[in-house]
Structure 1
Amino acid sequence: MVYDSVETAPREELREIQDERLRATVENAYENVDYYREELDERGITPDDIDGVDDIGKLPFTTKEDFRDEYPTGLFARDMSDVIRIHASSGTTGKPKIVGYTQDDLDVWSQAVARCLVAAGVTADDIVQNAYGYGLFTGGLGLHQGIEEIDATVIPIGGGNTQRQVELLDDLGSDVLTCTPSYSLYLAEVAEEMGTDVHDLPVRLILFGAEPCTDPMRYEIEERLGVKGVDIYGLSEIVGPGVSIECIEAQNGLHIWEDLFYPEVVDPRTGEPVEEGEEGELVLTTLAKDAVPVLRYRTGDLTTLDYDTCECGRTAVRMDNVTGRADDLLIVRGVNFYPSEVEDVVLEFDEVAPHYRIDLHREGNLDTVELTVELVEGFEGAIDDLHGRIGTRLKNVLGFTPDDLNLVPYGDIARQETGKIQRVYDHRGQ
């Protein structure tokens, strides 16, 4: 079942839509955004030089630094009188990235999220408990309007208040929960502390996003809560949640709605396109954004693209689950690795929980890595044996063993009540 027939359109038809919308997007950006006009003029490019997506390489990249440099509304193509909503990124490393929406933008966003929900198996008969934060963060309101678009029932509880979340899942018979992957596991912990068997809750499906989720963590969520877990992807600079999602039929990559967001994958070092199927940095161009058209946004997310038609019948390209971020690369004593690689190893072991933290220190001129991992509840095995097996596996995968590997009782690592979980603490500049 699809929400919009374009999801299964022949790729030739999809390309025609993309070409037409890219031309309109470039014209909008050139005519109404000083930043883009200056960038294109510097390259000797005008909208007339862009016939379609084959010419997309002529356009400049946009980065998160550009959003911050143009703060607050320098990338807006519409006056504030035409903008009816403002959202922003979290702004954890400086000024937040401000985005605006016209009514047309909100309509497109609602339809994109509606496609995601239907692809995930959500129906108009479902009750959806939306545990994403409401406010400037796009997650809460973005999912909310899509849920209403498909005529499902939405419970706008937002993030936090976890005991109440558990009660409402049970009392209102919620079929679907939307939240971050780490929060779903935290909710399971709280439920157990309350004496509630999470497998008795009516929820059958969790739509998780807003932070990377490896396959081992997905399996942990599904087993822990007795649900099906589906990954949804989006980012504030492009629209919010709704850029792509796994289909419930295959769950073999996330379908990107290419008529709305044109994807590329480039080498994160050079910016040059990579071969189809090769991993690189995801770059997105909006094709139906009115207030803030975005050209070739470097997401920082590492993934691959698969253009084969999915078994669900959708022709929209599939991106692989994000394996990490180009700017999350950790370099320790000349060895490069991503936190997701550590997570993959940790979750190979049934004796440990999916909770860990990485602390980076500098002693003199030497970088050191401290890895702390929680044991499962009621662990009764041999710590030394488990310590050795995890250390050996980490060395085989990462090429080195952490200087300190701490296996701690379940619950020792501090939990966050809401939002994204922090896995890496870099103390080297302190």
Structure 2
Amino acid sequence: MWDEKFETMSTDEMQAFQLDKLKETVAWVYERIPFYKKKFDEVGVSPQDVKSLEDLGRLPFTVKTDLRDNYPFGLCAVPMNQVVRVHASSGTTGKPITGPYTAEDLDQWAECMARNMDAAGITGDDIVQNAYGLGLFTGGLGFHQGAEKLGCTVIPASSGMTERQITLMKDFGSTVLFSTPSYALTIAEKASDMGVDIRELPLRVGVFGAEPWTVEMRDEIEQRMGIDACEAYGLTELGGPGTAFSCPAKDGYLHVNEDHILAEIIDPVTEEVLPLGEKGELVFTAIQRRAMPMIRYRTRDITELKREKCSCGRTLLKMKKVFGRSDDMLIISGVNVFPSQIESILLEVPEVEPQYVLIIRKKGYLDALSVDVEAKPEVYDLGEEKLREVEKDIESRIRGIIGIGVKVRAVPPKSIERSEGKAKRVFDARKL
């Protein structure tokens, strides 16, 4: 393991460490960030009131609008002459979320990413092709610095120019790929178009993240690329990828770097803290970050936590692979639907490609959901009768699992726009 001390630490030792860091962080933000001082004062809590980890539940939440309201640096706890880098989200739904870092923050981030990569079996002997965007988005440079810390040879290919990605893999002998999972499938498809058998290349491991993806998509990537597909989970607000990571157990859980991040599960409606093992909204508190620590940040991701020693030997808190996001949830005919549920069903259908889009339209006073999914070329060539058969099969599967009627269209191969970054899977036609 990269850091055996923390990755295998006993629960008692870890919680004692976490409490010390939590006390330190709460005092840090109270003294240095007016927003947090005001929030704490409003609920009648001071840093001196934090005497146990259970007291975390007394602290106020932070939400995404708080970051936007304090754009760009209202939540920064250090002067700008101590900030050595700034990242930001895309800002497609409003002002971007900014993420300032001190030099110490970058060191911690590289440490968390190194753990992530080490768990994926990556070593200093690997040649790593980084196909994440290298810019304001946290992913690209986060993966880059983690790989450098491991001693890897790093190819900063960035995203896009897919034919060049495949040429680089062949010419440079890349053994590891970093990208979004949807872009990994785009690369695999393009390689096939170029007559390149990507399974015959030296590529052996991929670490994917930055968008929701199912176990079924992981299996699809592994089959198409002939690699071991691993996960990096994180978010801009908490410093980027490396918050949690998969391990060789592949048991549907990720390990949380809990010496850096405290994790809770709450009921997203009542905001009540839920016990381990119950599904709810994931809440994070950064306990070592200096420039912009987040206190009880509501991620909107739906998952569950459990504490047990993993078969890989790690004792870090386990987080179930994210089921969906509370703010991505669709309500169709009174039923809660997550895009990941549809993806899981589609990836079990052998006649279609893992390329799809969900379309929401108005049907009278209700919302109606339809699904466009690409038929495989050999299936599409069989004609309308076969396509109608495939559509009816998928509709039946969706109704059987989710309980709602959905209109499915099997569309021509390569008719759905490919992703070079985060895939856009939901199209809301109600807004047109």
- Scaled to the shorter chain, the TM-score interval is over 0.9
The AA in structure 2 aligned to 1:253 is Y
Aligned residue among 403, 408, 412 for 1:399: 403
Task: Report the TM-score when normalising by structure 2.
Answer: 0.97
Give the deviation of 1:292 after TM superposition.
0.4
- Matches of 1:42 and 1:77 in 2, distance apart? 20
Q: Is the 8 A contact 1:188 1:225 kept in 2?
A: yes
Give the deviation of 1:52 after TM superposition.
3.2
Assess, with a 3 A threshold, how the Cα gap between structure 1 residues 338 and 285 changes in structure 2: closer, same or farther. same
Alignment match, 1:63: 63
- Matches of 1:385 and 1:294 in 2, distance apart? 51
Task: Say which SS state the counterpart of residue 192 (structure 2) adopts.
Answer: helix
Alignment match, 1:384: 388
The AA in structure 1 aligned to 2:167 is E
Task: Say which SS state the counterpart of residue 406 (structure 1) adopts.
Answer: strand
- Matches of 2:321 and 2:51 in 1, distance apart? 31
Q: Is the 8 A contact 1:250 1:311 kept in 2?
A: no
Give the deviation of 1:231 after TM superposition.
1.1
Alignment match, 2:186: 186
Q: Is the 8 A contact 1:110 1:146 kept in 2?
A: yes
Task: Say which SS state the counterpart of residue 133 (structure 2) adopts.
Answer: coil
Aligned residue among 394, 413, 431 for 1:429: 431
Give the deviation of 1:209 after TM superposition.
0.2
- Matches of 2:123 and 2:169 in 1, distance apart? 17
Alignment match, 1:85: 85
- Matches of 2:120 and 2:205 in 1, distance apart? 9
1:361 to 2:361 alignment:
yes
The AA in structure 2 aligned to 1:412 is S
- Matches of 1:101 and 1:127 in 2, distance apart? 27
- Matches of 2:353 and 2:113 in 1, distance apart? 32
Assess, with a 3 A threshold, how the Cα gap between structure 1 residues 215 and 249 changes in structure 2: closer, same or farther. closer
The AA in structure 2 aligned to 1:350 is P
- Matches of 2:188 and 2:281 in 1, distance apart? 33
Q: Is the 8 A contact 2:129 2:178 kept in 1?
A: yes
- Matches of 2:254 and 2:368 in 1, distance apart? 36
1:413 to 2:416 alignment:
yes
Where do residues 138-157 of structure 1 align in structure 2 (5 Å cutoff)? 138-157=138-157
Q: Is the 8 A contact 2:249 2:310 kept in 1?
A: no
Identity across matched positions, percent: 45
Gaps of 5+ in 2: none
The AA in structure 2 aligned to 1:411 is K
Where do residues 24-173 of structure 1 align in structure 2 (5 Å cutoff)? 24-173=24-173
The AA in structure 2 aligned to 1:325 is R
Where do residues 199-278 of structure 1 align in structure 2 (5 Å cutoff)? 199-278=199-278
Alignment match, 1:298: 298
Give the deviation of 1:32 after TM superposition.
0.3
Give the deviation of 1:270 after TM superposition.
1.5
Q: Is the 8 A contact 1:35 1:75 kept in 2?
A: yes
Q: Is the 8 A contact 1:357 1:424 kept in 2?
A: yes
Task: Report the TM-score when normalising by structure 1.
Answer: 0.97
Q: Is the 8 A contact 2:333 2:404 kept in 1?
A: no
Alignment match, 1:195: 195
The AA in structure 2 aligned to 1:406 is R
The AA in structure 1 aligned to 2:345 is V
1:289 to 2:289 alignment:
yes
Q: What is the CA deviation profile of residues 403-423 of structure 1, one whole-angstrom value per residue up to 9, with x for unaligned ones?
A: x3101122111213x210101
Give the deviation of 1:377 after TM superposition.
3.0
Task: Say which SS state the counterpart of residue 147 (structure 2) adopts.
Answer: helix
The AA in structure 1 aligned to 2:161 is N
- Matches of 2:112 and 2:43 in 1, distance apart? 33
- Matches of 2:252 and 2:316 in 1, distance apart? 12
Question: What do you get for the CA RMSD once the two structures are aligned?
Answer: 1.2
- Matches of 1:366 and 1:254 in 2, distance apart? 37
- Matches of 2:313 and 2:21 in 1, distance apart? 24
Give the deviation of 1:271 after TM superposition.
1.3
Q: Is the 8 A contact 1:3 1:118 kept in 2?
A: no
- Matches of 2:422 and 2:5 in 1, distance apart? 34
The AA in structure 2 aligned to 1:327 is D
Give the deviation of 1:84 after TM superposition.
0.7
Task: Say which SS state the counterpart of residue 99 (structure 1) adopts.
Answer: strand
- Matches of 2:171 and 2:82 in 1, distance apart? 42
Give the deviation of 1:173 after TM superposition.
0.9
- Matches of 1:388 and 1:150 in 2, distance apart? 49
Q: Is the 8 A contact 1:333 1:367 kept in 2?
A: yes
Give the deviation of 1:367 after TM superposition.
2.2
- Matches of 1:186 and 1:377 in 2, distance apart? 16
1:370 to 2:349 alignment:
no
- Matches of 1:151 and 1:251 in 2, distance apart? 28
The AA in structure 1 aligned to 2:329 is L
- Which one is further off, 213-222 or 383-392? 383-392
The AA in structure 2 aligned to 1:395 is R
The AA in structure 2 aligned to 1:426 is D
The AA in structure 2 aligned to 1:386 is V
Q: Is the 8 A contact 1:77 1:292 kept in 2?
A: yes
- Which one is further off, 225-234 or 271-280? 271-280
- Matches of 2:52 and 2:169 in 1, distance apart? 47
- Matches of 1:182 and 1:429 in 2, distance apart? 25
Task: Say which SS state the counterpart of residue 328 (structure 1) adopts.
Answer: coil
Q: Is the 8 A contact 1:18 1:52 kept in 2?
A: no
Q: What is the CA deviation profile of residues 20-71 of structure 1, one whole-angstrom value per residue up to 9, with x for unaligned ones?
A: 0000110011000000000001111110001232210011111111100111
Task: Say which SS state the counterpart of residue 431 (structure 2) adopts.
Answer: coil
Q: Is the 8 A contact 1:250 1:312 kept in 2?
A: no
Q: What is the CA deviation profile of residues 365-412 of structure 1, one whole-angstrom value per residue up to 9, with x for unaligned ones?
A: 23222211111232266223222221111111121111x310112211
- Matches of 1:253 and 1:136 in 2, distance apart? 29
- Matches of 1:429 and 1:210 in 2, distance apart? 26
- Matches of 2:247 and 2:305 in 1, distance apart? 15
